[in-house]
């Protein structure tokens, strides 16, 4: 690659719903040659596709196009929209459209790009690449730039992984967003107010061909997105994403992630400025096996005393094996060193309840923080039924009270949909 040329295409009329963009662009005499790349502003694509709606209230239009709110500050919202793009206001635009209306993004920008490409091939007999562009802000960077939201017939990513740089160093993480770079280059000649919504890039024919993937390939999938959550929404998202996971992969758990979750746990409120939480991290297979075997034996003994059959006992033990299947276990414990003693059964009982509530708050913080680390968890109560067994197996002080156990790992499958719960069902107002 030595050089390329970018130029705007003048002469396009105002676009209306139902207009054939490819024919209008061809009629503007864009001078397209084989292997050129056409950059088309999404606004005129939206207009041609009738994506103009009457909306005196732009906020309601944003609501309708929003799949997930990522961040909010005042009236400004960064959201994931129906096209999978994370951007301000879901791409709903009130500029360059008549008063009382707003423009929505094309429903399928990749399909729009394919339609324009095929139309130009039919009208002009040339094979070109087409990129549909839109304007984005970016985290940690001031200013706006155009990026690709739709593409056809052009390579959108250049994966350099496996190669080497000029010094022979291996490239292990370099994937270049070619389509975004082209979109930004086109924006330099199109401008925002000059009425030049189309540009042409010449000299990069090596990027053009019958490429299967479109601009959707530029959208990072949720599992790989380290910055998926926004500001205050991060807390709400982590809380709602916390799910009980009972099937784990064999992937090891990063001990550092668990320790970060413990750091979040111990910020929970507690009575009398105490720190009533202790988290026993079972990082060695020996410690996990020793604890779980001792608990299983104690459970079986209890079931036999209850008169359960051996078949029934075996089934119960199998169902309760979630802790054994997890690659990492944590036993949260309650320590009531700072509790007050009143010599009154009612007040002493309430005192302990305060500490138990504080322990639960700490465990909830812990589970939510694990979800933020993309780790699944299951809080199981079993250690509370055999505290002496747990203390002996783990060599814990006599005044540490086990508050269940937390299985930790990567979920083997997506969790089931949680039944919808209306907050109003749990609220009483006085």
Of 234, 216, 252, 247, which Cα lies nearest the Cα of 114?
216
CATH architecture for residues 242-426: 3-Layer(aba) Sandwich (3.40)
Of 150, 119, 120, 194, which Cα lies nearest the Cα of 46?
150
Q: What is the pLDDT of residues 228-270, one digit of tens each?
A: 766 666 666 667 778 888 899 999 999 999 999 999 999 999 9
Structure tokens at 198: 């189309």
Domain coordinates of the chain in residue numbers? 5-224, 242-426
Distances (CA, A) of 181 to 2, 158, 199: 16, 11, 14
d(CA 276, CA 268): 10
User: 167: pLDDT confidence band, cut at 50, 70 and 90?
Assistant: confident
The separation between the first and the last C-alpha atoms of the chain, rounded to the nearest angstrom, is 72
Q: Which CATH superfamily hosts domain 5-224?
A: CofE-like (3.30.1330.100)
Q: What is the pLDDT of residues 53-112, one digit of tens each?
A: 887 778 888 999 999 888 887 778 899 999 999 999 999 988 878 888 899 999 999 999
Percentages helix, strand, coil for the chain (3-state, rounded to 5) are 40, 20, 40
Structure tokens at 196: 């030049």
d(CA 270, CA 273): 6
d(CA 105, CA 44): 10
Structure tokens at 375: 């780790």
Q: What is the pLDDT of residues 260-314, one digit of tens each?
A: 999 999 999 999 999 999 999 999 999 999 999 999 999 889 889 989 898 888 8
**Model pTM score:** 0.65
């Amino acid at each position: 690659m030595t050089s390329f040329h970018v130029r705007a295409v003048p002469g396009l009329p105002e676009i209306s719903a139902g207009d054939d963009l490819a024919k209008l662009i061809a009629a503007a005499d864009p001078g397209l040659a084989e292997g050129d790349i056409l950059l088309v502003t999404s606004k005129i694509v939206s207009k041609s596709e009738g994506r103009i709606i009457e909306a005196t209230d732009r906020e309601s239009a944003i609501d309708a196009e929003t799949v997930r709110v990522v961040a909010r500050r005042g009236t400004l919202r960064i959201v994931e929209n129906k096209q999978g793009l994370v951007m301000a206001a879901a791409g709903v635009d009130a500029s360059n459209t008549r008063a009382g209306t707003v423009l929505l993004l094309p429903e399928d920008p990749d399909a729009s790009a394919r339609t324009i490409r095929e139309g130009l091939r039919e009208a002009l007999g040339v094979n070109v690449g087409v990129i549909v562009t839109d304007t984005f802000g970016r985290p940690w960077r001031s200013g706006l730039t155009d990026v690709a939201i739709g593409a056809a017939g052009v390579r959108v990513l250049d994966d350099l992984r496996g190669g080497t740089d000029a010094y022979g160093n291996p490239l292990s993480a370099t994937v270049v967003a070619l389509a975004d770079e082209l979109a930004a280059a086109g924006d330099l000649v199109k401008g925002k107010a000059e009425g030049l919504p189309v540009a042409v890039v010449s000299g990069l024919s090596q990027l053009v061909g019958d490429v299967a993937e479109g601009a959707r390939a530029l959208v990072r999938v949720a599992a790989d997105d380290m910055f998926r959550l926004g500001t205050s929404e991060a807390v709400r998202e982590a809380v709602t994403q916390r799910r009980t996971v009972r099937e784990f992969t064999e992937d090891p758990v990063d001990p550092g992630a668990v320790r970060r979750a413990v750091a979040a746990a111990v910020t929970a409120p507690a009575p009398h400025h105490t720190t009533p939480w202790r988290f026993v991290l079972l990082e060695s297979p020996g410690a996990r096996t020793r604890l779980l075997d001792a608990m299983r034996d104690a459970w079986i003994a209890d079931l036999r005393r209850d008169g359960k059959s051996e078949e029934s006992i075996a089934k119960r033990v199998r169902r309760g094996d979630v802790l054994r299947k997890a690659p990492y276990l944590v036993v949260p414990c309650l320590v009531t060193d700072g509790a007050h003693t009143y010599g009154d059964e009612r007040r002493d009982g309430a005192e302990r309840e305060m500490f138990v509530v504080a322990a639960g708050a700490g465990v909830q913080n812990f589970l939510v923080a694990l979800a933020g680390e993309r780790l699944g968890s299951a809080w199981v109560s079993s250690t509370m039924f055999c505290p002496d067994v747990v203390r002996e197996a783990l060599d814990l002080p006599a005044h540490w009270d086990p508050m269940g156990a937390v299985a930790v790992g990567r979920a083997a499958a997506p969790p089931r949909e949680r039944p919808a719960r209306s907050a109003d069902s749990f609220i009483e107002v006085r």
